[in-house]
Amino acid sequence: RKEVEQDPGPFNVPEGATVAFNCTYSNSASQSFFWYRQDCRKEPKLLMSVYSSGNEDGRFTAQLNRASQYISLLIRDSKLSDSATYLCAVTPHNKLIFGAGTRLAVHP
């Protein structure tokens, strides 16, 4: 089993849609959780950290469920510029391990 698993995607949504990505992790000792955004042929950029209480940053909301070892990212009011691959990442053993990513394509 992979350490971090994500929805395979791709997600094709119209502008203004709400879209949710899910991610599960296998190592219960993981301490930190993140969502990254990666554009084609670029390095990943940190979108947001994920906290146990859940956190929001503008149109983006991240949630963590430690009991179920599950992380989610909700994007509201999708913009064309949100088109990218979204990677969840966790840190078991002080190493950042990524999921395979979910591709999002927002169309007019």
Could you tell me the smallest distance in angstroms from the CB atom of residue 108 to other proteins? Answer: 25
Name the residue nearer to other proteins (CB basis): 22 or 91: 91
What number of H helices and E strands is found in the chain?
0, 11
Alpha carbons 6 and 87: distance in angstroms, whole number = 8
Tokens representing residue 108 in the block: 């007019």
107 binds other proteins (CB under 8 A): no
Alpha carbons 34 and 12: distance in angstroms, whole number = 23
39 binds other proteins (CB under 8 A): no
Q: Which of 83, 101, 104, 106 binds other proteins (CB under 8 A)?
A: 101
Binding site for other proteins (CB under 8 A): 31-32, 41-45, 87, 91, 94-101
